[in-house]
Structure 1
């Protein structure tokens, strides 16, 4: 079976000479939750944009289910949750989350061919009201985005992405602007949705606790040039509720990621 996401020998350089990514290789099996963490400028968001087909690498290969990101996007294999929700202000919550599905019906046959699933499974309409309820939005389905808090808007954006039933979901620090309490609540709701739908997730974060709590694997990156310096598998039971955050084995993984991040700050070749 093809990896859900695969990068091999990827290099990306911007016009000013900045090497955003240098010889990056990564394989994400289908259904895994993988977080990317590292200092600012290490190429986390660039990597996500390459997988999303928003930018092209200079060297190397990027594939999603064995095809190019462009083909994967055309078949609606990929969902994206950015840092800001980007909801349509004139549509209520229910219409915001159902619009992408209504607009992308023609991609179903190509998606079925790439992902190796039956077309009727791709065409099956998800129960968006149920997904909204699972995300704590049952009472907000007919509200406009302006009537929602920041946390509620981000929940809508997550449900919208899951509503397409993407094979790969890319999330670029979706909780970074939220307070700690709201952030932890959304982490739990995200895990509930992911556990049900088993989408492959690439998740960018600056939070060690968030990375450990959410992930099957944490990929630690370093800057100058952007590169992968460590890959840490998180062997903790699921579901991962609040009680797990107090356990010693959880903190041990936090320490492993923190130590890897300290190493990521060192200049290559320095003593």
Structure 2
């Protein structure tokens, strides 16, 4: 039986105690198959970031379970199965672009041995050569700036560097927390193109947080709609649109139909939360 890349079973997270306790996630069930691109969308306070942090091993569930390729998030992180791209790039300011993206490979040499002990990942990774980071940088449009420091880059270039750095470890699961939210629309769409190219080549499972309905539809195989008070999943919508998804996708009526469907589910989620 094929193991899910990400599996949450009645996952629950509560902050605080007693009367002041706040249920961030309430009995969340979610199963994501290997190689899928899944987006989480919902209003602030619905638990998107909490869910991502549970999968990343940055938080511990108070109930239920969270598994990544059949092991705990801590075990998955130790084997470097998980890559993480936050909202801000968090690059080392004293290292060049190339130095930033190659550093994780040099300091995580034991991860491959841990990966060998996890299900079929060792077999799939056997003999796999590390990626050519210069080639990944070139494909991300950074070939001319590999020796520059982060302060010499635009915001879009810094975020591209962070994405290449995360993909450089060839993670089986990539977690992305609104990585394009601070960028202008043109830069955002350019980075979406480059992200989809890298994802298509490396076959990584992606769990992606966004507040943009358009971005969710364009990128995703599946969009998970969440609602607040308490944080929960209210709908799971599969996006049946052809790939590759280039700019012409925006002209198709089917694309806008999915946008309308997701907005409708978000409005329903808000109404149900207000009535609760």
**TM-score over 0.5 for the pair:** yes
Measured after TM superposition, the shift of residue 119 of structure 1 is 7.7
Distance in 2 separating the partners of 1:250 and 1:234:
9
Task: Give the corresponding residue for 1:200.
Answer: 205
**2:250 match:** 245
Aligned to 1:68: 72
Deviation at 1:128, TM superposition (A): 0.5
Residues 119 and 211 of structure 1: CA distance in aligned 2, closer, same or farther (over 3 Å): closer
**Residues 111 and 122, structure 1, Cα contact 8 Å, conserved in 2:** no
Matches within 5 A, 1:46-125: 46-116=50-120, 117-118=122-123, 121=126, 124-125=129-130
Cα distance change on mapping 1:262 and 1:120 into 2, 3 Å? closer
State whether residues 228 and 273 of structure 2, in contact with CA within 8 Å, keep that contact through their aligned partners in structure 1.
no
Distance 1:95 1:51 in 2: 28
What TM-score do you get using the length of structure 1 for normalisation? Answer: 0.97
Alignment of 1:146 with 2:147, yes or no, is: no
Show structure 1 runs of 4+ deviating over 4 A.
Answer: none
TM-score (norm 2): 0.95
Whether 2:8 is the aligned partner of 1:7: answer yes
Q: The residue matched to 1:114 in structure 2 has which SS? A: coil
Within the alignment, does 1:28 sit opposite 2:52 as a pair? Answer: no
Q: Does the alignment pair 1:165 with 2:170?
A: yes
Which segments of 5 or more consecutive residues in structure 1 lack a partner in the other structure? none
In 2 relative to 1, CA 11–184 (structure 1 residues): closer, same or farther, beyond 3 Å? Answer: same
The unaligned stretches of length 5 or more in structure 2 are: none
Please report how far the alpha carbon of residue 124 of structure 1 lies from its aligned counterpart in structure 2 after TM superposition. 1.7
The change in CA–CA distance for 1:219 and 1:122 in structure 2 (over 3 A counts) is farther
Residue 206 of structure 1 and its aligned partner are, at CA, apart by: 0.1
Q: CA offset at residue 221 of structure 1?
A: 0.1
Structure 1 residue 264, shift from structure 2 partner = 1.2
* Corresponding residue number in structure 2 for 1:190: 195
- Per the alignment, do residues 247 and 36 of structure 1 end up closer, same or farther by CA in structure 2, a change over 3 Å counting? same
Q: Distance in 1 between matches of 2:36 and 2:127?
A: 20
Equivalents in 1 of 2:127, 2:102: separation in Å? 15
What CA distance in whole angstroms lies between the structure 2 residues aligned with 1:21 and 1:109? 34
Contact 2:227 2:273 in 1 (8 A): no
Q: Distance in 1 between matches of 2:223 and 2:141?
A: 28
Count of paired positions: 271
- Deviations 1:132-178, CA, capped at 9 Å, x for gaps: 01100000100000000000000000000000000000000000000
RMSD between superposed Cα atoms in Å: 1.4
Which residue of structure 1 aligns with residue 229 of structure 2? 224
- Which 10-residue stretch deviates more, 205-214 or 258-267? 258-267
Most deviating of 106-115 and 48-57: 106-115
Structure 2 distance, partners of 1:78, 1:26, is 17
Q: CA 1:191/1:120 → structure 2, altered by over 3 Å: closer, same or farther?
A: closer
Residue 246 of structure 1 and its aligned partner are, at CA, apart by 1.3
